[in-house]
A = this chain, B = another copy of it.
């Protein structure tokens, strides 16, 4: 019942799914978009921009961060987030590697 039979899938497959999960919520897409547009940004900007509560934004940032997609630096009491481009590209490549392999043969 319920979820989490993840154990039964091989690592590669779980990895692709995990990457996709980060992108699977519009708030996180918005956050990534905004961060990239701002060339570094701040959580509170996101709260204003996206219109979700500070707690919720912070939570989404954690989800994105857990996949290694963010570099955050404190400047004073504010935290500047920006993309970890290397990791970002790595994930994009993993995704595309799966997608390309999948579409290569078909009926």
Residues on A close to B: CB < 8 A? Answer: 5-6, 8-9, 13-14, 16-17, 20-30, 32-33, 36-37, 39-40, 50-52, 80, 82-83, 85, 88-89, 92, 95-96, 98-99, 101-107
Pair A92/B82 contact, Cβ less than 8 Å: no
Would you mind naming 24 contact pairs between A and B with Cβ atoms under 8 Å apart? A5-B52, A8-B51, A9-B30, A13-B29, A13-B30, A14-B26, A16-B26, A16-B29, A17-B24, A17-B26, A17-B29, A20-B22, A23-B24, A23-B95, A36-B103, A39-B105, A39-B107, A80-B107, A82-B106, A88-B103, A89-B103, A92-B96, A92-B99, A95-B95
Interface centre among A96, A103, A106, by most B CB within 10 Å?
Answer: A106
Number of copies: 2
Pair A99/B88 contact, Cβ less than 8 Å: yes
CB closest residue in chain B, given A51: B8
- What's the nearest-Cβ distance from chain B to residue A98, in Å? 7
